[in-house]
Amino acid sequence: MENGWWLIITLKSDLCTGTGDGIEGLIDIDIAHENGIPVIPAKRLKGCLLDSGRELMENGLVEPEQLEFMFGKPGKDSQGALHIGSAFLYQVPGEILGDRENGIQIEDYNELQKEILGQEELGIQEILELLTRLRSRTAIEEISGNAKQGSLRTMRVVRNGIRFRSRIDLLRDMDDDSIMEALSWCVKGLRHIGLGVTRGFGEVTCELQKIEDDRQTEFLTLKEDGFKPDEEVELNFEIELTEPVLLAGKKGLYEDCEEWITGSSVRGALAAMFLEDHHLGTRAHEHEVFRRIFLRDGVQFGYGFLKKKNLTFYPCPASIVKWKTDKHHFNENEICFDRLYENDQSKRRKDIHSLAAFRGDCVCLAAPQKEMRMHHARPRDRGIGHALGDRAKQPEGMGQFYQYVSLKKGQIFAGCWRGRYQDINLLLQCLKKRNNHFQLGRSRTAEYGSACFTPQVPRKKVDSATGDKAGNHWVIQLLTPMVLYNWKKARPEADSELLCSLWNEEQNIGAEIKEKYLKFTHIGGYNSRWRLPESQMPALAAGTVLVVETHKPVSGEWFESRRFGEMTGIGYGMVKAVPFGEGPKEFKVISWEEDLPEIQKESSLMRALREYRSKRLIRQRERLEALNTKGRCQLNSTAIEQLISMLPQGEDQPYQYMLTRLAEIRDEEKKMKMKKFLEPCKNKSRAFIEVYLEKEKWGVRNGTDRQQ
């Protein structure tokens, strides 16, 4: 089903994958990196491969239809068939790591990243400096030939010889071998990446290597025993982000992203897989199973909530607030209290906007990690090297700079699906064909969206409202937004009384709301197929708290095993039920901090970088010592130049080697002067001797030690 290749990229010259960032006063253009390890972003690779394909198309080697199939086309409903991952560090030559005999190959990039985060000896900036170098340039005045004032620019570059590796997957069935041939041509034609390609930077060679899918994960096979095909079941799952994920937040895609994995994004990803596997095309609405699962909420795709260790973090209930302190009331440990049980209205309080997980008398607060990435679209005219959309009078087709806020990769989100056993089994089979990997959110063909799905053991859904822990007094907390419809007025309303009506109609439990802490939101979206915004609907927001009394005892499991209101198929209407009066009234606040990963085994790259760093520090100290060492006699610059020419490249004892060369000089007086001049270099390294000789040479030329 899914074909995969490694794209191997070898740097033939220094490479600058500029991100738009820099270090004020030091570096004008910095490169893309992850914790100090250089990386080539996937969007950059996709653009370069597409440019290569367009050049080949102009020469008749690639057809336009093939490029559209592989890379997609702006304005089309369907995306391109290729998913291109970012290129990560793969091989480092030995000469970059301090003239090692052998280079280093990185087989597991994710383990390398965990090792970097788990150690403290090498900082991120140190690692970056060991694998890169700085290059400066300036502009020259045409008439005077002098450097233009204010034109000096410094950029960081990845050192030539390093190799990167990117994974390319074909997400759609390929019946024509010519597509593979076209991709091979695009790869062969890719010769330059990054900035400064007209100045000698970014020269690369690329090759494709076919791979068997090595992303094997444990897959749950549902067994027939214990479940009937039409029986309602619940399936817990975890989603691990293997790439950043773009899910537009309330402020839009460019300024914010969601705090969780939405049910609509998961449903859309599974629907695309189902359509492809069953070859439905535009006839999806005629397929009975597709209609039942995706159009009639036959399967309820739950939200994925942030999970750290064994804790799952949900929106904090609106009734729980921080105890706001001031200079007259100092609180050493930050305290939260539940307004449901607090009679003292004089307490100053502050709402909590973080996600929360409760553990005993402690509330753990956390937020998903996010990152901002900057990109640019090049002008349609490939002769223009920079995006000009923000400066051009007619910006259309002139390129544009833009940025995304995304959920950072490596995070885990947990949730639950509910539906018929046979329907959930069909969805798991779609995932199994893709080794549990699928694409989420926006911009899924390059750099974003890849995730790994891990299902748990299913369990039977609770049908009865009564149970061992049934009660009449409950605190209902909304974990996701809830859309309630007023059928008398034929419109959606964010009215909590409509929820009571639903409960009473379904089980006749006589529910009444005694107290409420409401939060409101609007539900909407955008239909990419029709390219139209969806209608906006008022809704109760996640975090809303209702205190409910029922005439009949009802179990908390009954509340939690259902989703109430409209649009439950994409996760809306999920609640948590807590018996009123149970649990602490005050909580100690714990701000969740990430535990450093445990280092299982030291990698050869990190070991080589530590050794290389130690050698560099020794050389730096030797150079500093050489700068402070004065010659014991005076020589002219010609004699010092002669000594510099005697300095060997690879000798272990450079001083002794130079003495043997001095013995060949016939002029005894000159020979003795040169030996005396060289005495401070006895038992010193080549780095010391080189700096010592260069310092003395320039001192003579500047007249500071000129012979009289």
pLDDT band at 312 (very low <50, low <70, confident <90, very high): very high
Of the two residues 527 and 300, the one the predictor is more confident about is 300
Which is nearest to 660 in space by CA: 650, 646, 670, 673?
646
For residues 684-700, give the mean pLDDT.
87
Which is nearest to 309 in space by CA: 601, 562, 590, 603?
590
Of the two residues 144 and 542, the one the predictor is more confident about is 542
Judge contact between 237 and 414, C-beta under 8 A. Answer: yes
Tokens describing residue 302: 């739950």
Per-residue model confidence (pLDDT) at position 542: 93
Residue 305 has pLDDT above 90, yes or no: yes
Of the two residues 495 and 26, the one the predictor is more confident about is 495
Residue 599 has pLDDT above 70, yes or no: no
* DSSP state, residue 294: I
Identify the sign of the CA torsion 496, 497, 500, 501: negative
SS3 604: helix
Per-residue model confidence (pLDDT) at position 331: 47
Per-residue model confidence (pLDDT) at position 192: 92
Tokens describing residue 672: 């003795």
Per-residue model confidence (pLDDT) at position 42: 92
Of the two residues 444 and 312, the one the predictor is more confident about is 312
C-alpha–C-alpha distance, residues 501 and 503, integer Å: 5
Per-residue model confidence (pLDDT) at position 546: 93
Per-residue model confidence (pLDDT) at position 390: 63
Least confident among 8-22, 193-207, 455-469 = 455-469
C-alpha–C-alpha distance, residues 534 and 528, integer Å: 10
Tokens describing residue 272: 């695309």
* 186-200 tens-digit pLDDT: 999 999 998 888 888
Least confident among 80-89, 451-460, 592-601 = 592-601
pLDDT band at 293 (very low <50, low <70, confident <90, very high): very high
Residue 373 has pLDDT above 50, yes or no: yes
* 49-65 tens-digit pLDDT: 999 999 999 888 888 88
Which is nearest to 83 in space by CA: 94, 71, 75?
71
Q: Which amino acid is at 274?
A: F
Least confident among 253-257, 330-334, 618-622, 704-708 = 704-708
Per-residue model confidence (pLDDT) at position 708: 34
Tokens describing residue 597: 């990963």
pLDDT band at 162 (very low <50, low <70, confident <90, very high): very high
For residues 577-582, give the mean pLDDT.
88
Residue 460 has pLDDT above 50, yes or no: yes
CATH of 232-311+368-382+397-460, one of 3.40.50.970, 3.40.50.410, 3.30.70.2660, 1.20.1290.10: 3.30.70.2660
Q: Does domain 471-591 have CATH number 3.40.250.10?
A: no
Q: Where are the beta strands (DSSP E) in 458-518?
A: 459-460, 471-478, 485-486, 491-492, 512-517
Per-residue model confidence (pLDDT) at position 446: 86
Per-residue model confidence (pLDDT) at position 427: 93
pLDDT band at 1 (very low <50, low <70, confident <90, very high): very low
SS3 195: coil
Residue 450 has pLDDT above 60, yes or no: yes
C-alpha–C-alpha distance, residues 224 and 532, integer Å: 43
Q: Pick from 101-105, 113-117, 373-377, 423-427 the range whose average pLDDT is largest.
A: 423-427
Q: What percent of the chain has pLDDT over 90?
A: 30
Residue 653 has pLDDT above 50, yes or no: yes
pLDDT band at 2 (very low <50, low <70, confident <90, very high): low
Sequential DSSP letters for 638-652: HHHHHHHHH--SS-S
Helix orientation angle between 686-701 and 654-662, rounded to the nearest 10 degrees: 50
Residue 482 has pLDDT above 90, yes or no: yes
Residue 600 has pLDDT above 70, yes or no: no
pLDDT band at 175 (very low <50, low <70, confident <90, very high): low
For residues 450-457, give the mean pLDDT.
90
* 336-367 tens-digit pLDDT: 888 888 777 677 788 888 899 988 888 889 99
Per-residue model confidence (pLDDT) at position 329: 45
pLDDT band at 543 (very low <50, low <70, confident <90, very high): very high
For residues 424-441, give the mean pLDDT.
90
C-alpha–C-alpha distance, residues 309 and 594, integer Å: 10
Helix orientation angle between 604-627 and 686-701, rounded to the nearest 10 degrees: 40
**How do 248-249 and 153-158 pair as beta strands?**
unpaired
CB atoms within 10 A of CB 660: 9
Residue 530 has pLDDT above 50, yes or no: yes
For residues 609-638, give the mean pLDDT.
85
- Tell me the CA distances in angstroms from 111 to 38, 104, 114, 560, one per residue in order: 16, 15, 5, 38
For residues 72-96, give the mean pLDDT.
84
For residues 78-91, give the mean pLDDT.
88
Of the two residues 210 and 388, the one the predictor is more confident about is 210
Per-residue model confidence (pLDDT) at position 216: 53
Q: In residues, how long is the chain?
A: 708
- Dihedral, CA atoms, 436, 304, 364, 549, nearest 10 degrees? -140
pLDDT band at 245 (very low <50, low <70, confident <90, very high): very high
Helix (H) or strand (E) holding 526: strand 520-527
Tokens describing residue 687: 């780095």
SS3 465: coil
Residue 376 has pLDDT above 80, yes or no: no
- Dihedral, CA atoms, 585, 590, 592, 597, nearest 10 degrees? -120
Per-residue model confidence (pLDDT) at position 327: 47
| CATH 2.60.40.4350 domain locations along the chain | 471-591
Q: Where are the beta strands (DSSP E) in 66-171?
A: 82-84, 87-92, 104-105, 132-137, 153-158, 163-170
pTM: 0.84
Per-residue model confidence (pLDDT) at position 75: 65
For residues 546-558, give the mean pLDDT.
89
Q: How far is CA 70 from the centre of its chain?
A: 24
| CATH 3.30.70.2660 domain locations along the chain | 232-311+368-382+397-460
- Tell me the CA distances in angstroms from 452 to 125, 218, 239, 377, one per residue in order: 31, 11, 6, 29
φ and ψ at 8, to 5 degrees?
Answer: -95, 125
pLDDT band at 607 (very low <50, low <70, confident <90, very high): confident
Cβ-count burial of 405 within 10 angstroms (0-12 exposed, 13-18 middle, 19+ buried)? buried
Q: Mean pLDDT for the chain?
A: 84
- Residues whose CB falls within 8 Å of the CB of residue 487, separated by 6 or more in sequence, listed in order: none
Tokens describing residue 608: 């080589």
* 39-50 tens-digit pLDDT: 999 999 998 999
pLDDT band at 223 (very low <50, low <70, confident <90, very high): low
Per-residue model confidence (pLDDT) at position 395: 66
Which is nearest to 195 in space by CA: 108, 128, 251, 137?
137
Q: What radius of gyration do the chain's Cα atoms show?
A: 33
Per-residue model confidence (pLDDT) at position 608: 87
* 121-136 tens-digit pLDDT: 888 888 998 899 998 8
Q: How far is CA 265 from the centre of its chain?
A: 18
Tokens describing residue 71: 């890379």
pLDDT band at 467 (very low <50, low <70, confident <90, very high): low
For residues 282-311, give the mean pLDDT.
89
